[in-house]
Amino acid sequence: MIDLKIARAETPGCNKLIHFNNAGCALRPHSVIDSVTKHLQLEQQIGGYEAETQAKEEVGNFYAQLAQLLNCKSSEIAFMESATRAWQSALLSLGLKKGDEIITAGNEYAGNYLSLLSIARQIGIEIRTIALEADGLIKAENMERYLGAKTRAILITHIASQRGDIQDIKAIGEIAQTKGVCFLVDACQSVGHVPLDLQEIKCDFLFGTGRKYLRGPRGTGFLFARSESTAKYMPPVIDLQSAHWDAAERFTIKEGAARFESFERNLAGQIGLARAVEYANSLGITNIAARIQSLARTMVTRLEAIQGVRVHELSETRSGIVTFSKVGIEAEKLQNQLHQQDVNTSISKRSNARLDLDRDIQCDVVRVSLHYYNSDSEIERVVQLIEHY
């Protein structure tokens, strides 16, 4: 069980506002901010490289804590500046060629889909997008129809950004493994939110960002690269962190996920993210998930009771992301109104979900994204505001 009083006391932002924008960027606990500040001060006092040497243990803690959260090896984790950089590196390490096919789904994150379109334009790969079913999900068994001799990878977003339905990545992973196709999972919205067990999820790569449900600093992310598959893949760019210069004309790529890392990085951010993951581990991811799910259920029930309000999640299993619209009211206006009352929410833009919102709702919708430190009384207040707007 999560002690709400403690969780809120350790989250200073809670005193001033209602933060229902955790899928954008969550509020950080004290300990995360303190660890970042402490490292920046150390850099100021003794120098950046010298501070790095002193912080070896905290940096090592990043790999250990994430490995614990994801049930994988520390050597399978790379620190990345963002989730986008993580998956781009992973996908391009496959050495794609003209005619290769990538399978993805209709809930794909806009930034990811744009990258795929750009790679398609530059290299000539084919994108095969599986349409979402009426329940907002793709059926794993349908994937078989999309797989062919030219399929090089499957890229699936676990929980979408624009609405919170949860894809069955375990079932998809089983198929990918059976067919021997590289499977990449976007866990940006699910890491720190729901349990992710990499012994059960048969993916080659999984990536996430620090600032959302993990409650880490901005400008941080990670890549999980499974040790059994990593050796096959050559990162598109390397430097002296990812490779060793053996002789004038020879180099060796590092073993493990380190081959995807860069030498230069935001050390304070990495240390802060380590602390954030440690914090999540100490609360327990199953406790976190259960509390978020219970808050989301309350939110949905309360929203659905308001006349003219429609909730847009299509499947029954709840994540902390709840999207809705109110008849006759523009999403942006409602979001602004809530913001003026110190309630942070966000908007899922139709133009960022061309294969999803664009196909059925055809308008922007308001997104509330709840975390375990949110409370029932906050939900009550927000519901009242929405009802009376």
Ligand X SMILES: Cc1ncc(COP(=O)(O)O)c(C=O)c1O
* Count of residues near ligand X by CB under 6 A: 12
Q: Which residues pair with 207 in a beta bridge?
A: 186, 223
Of the listed pieces 61-69, 80-88, 293-301, 313-321, which binds ligand X according to CB under 6 A? 80-88
Please list the helix, strand and coil fractions of the chain in percent, rounded to the nearest 5, in that order.
Answer: 45, 20, 40
DSSP 329: B
Please count the other Cβ atoms lying within 10 Å of the Cβ belonging to residue 350. Answer: 18
d(CA 255, CA 231): 7
Binding residue (CB under 6 A) for ligand X from 36, 55, 140, 188: 188
Contact between residue 337 and residue 322 where contact means Cβ atoms under 8 Å apart: no
Toward ligand X, which CB reaches closer, 14 or 353? 353
Q: Would the CA dihedral through 98, 169, 209, 275 be positive or negative?
A: negative
Shortest Cβ 221–ligand X spacing (Å): 5
With binding defined as CB under 6 A, does residue 186 bind ligand X?
yes
Q: Which residues pair with 347 in a beta bridge?
A: 366
With binding defined as CB under 6 A, does residue 230 bind ligand X?
no
Beta strands 126-130 and 101-105: pairing type? parallel
With binding defined as CB under 6 A, does residue 83 bind ligand X?
yes
d(CA 258, CA 206): 14
With binding defined as CB under 6 A, does residue 221 bind ligand X?
yes
d(CA 277, CA 283): 10
* Pattern 332-371, ligand X, x by CB under 6 A: ----------------------------------------
Binding residue (CB under 6 A) for ligand X from 11, 22, 35, 84: 84
Binding residue (CB under 6 A) for ligand X from 189, 325, 344, 374: 189
Shortest Cβ 104–ligand X spacing (Å): 12
- Looking at 124-217, list the stretches that DSSP marks H as alpha helix, in order from N- to C-terminal side: 140-146, 169-179
Of the listed pieces 172-180, 185-193, 223-231, 346-354, which binds ligand X according to CB under 6 A? 185-193
Sequence-ordered strand ranges (E) for 45-174: 77-80, 101-105, 126-130, 151-157
Toward ligand X, which CB reaches closer, 51 or 107? 107
d(CA 303, CA 383): 7
* Pattern 5-34, ligand X, x by CB under 6 A: ------------------------------
Of the listed pieces 8-16, 77-85, 196-204, 345-353, which binds ligand X according to CB under 6 A? 77-85
Shortest Cβ 89–ligand X spacing (Å): 12
Of the listed pieces 9-17, 79-87, 261-269, 370-378, which binds ligand X according to CB under 6 A? 79-87
Q: Which two tokens stand for residue 86?
A: 């993580």
With binding defined as CB under 6 A, does residue 217 bind ligand X?
no
Q: Which residues ranging from 105 to 164 are in contact with ligand X (CB under 6 A)?
A: 109, 111, 157, 161
With binding defined as CB under 6 A, does residue 278 bind ligand X?
no
Q: Which two tokens stand for residue 77?
A: 């984790």
Beta strands 321-326 and 365-369: pairing type? antiparallel
Binding site for ligand X (CB under 6 A): 82-84, 109, 111, 157, 161, 186, 188-189, 209, 221
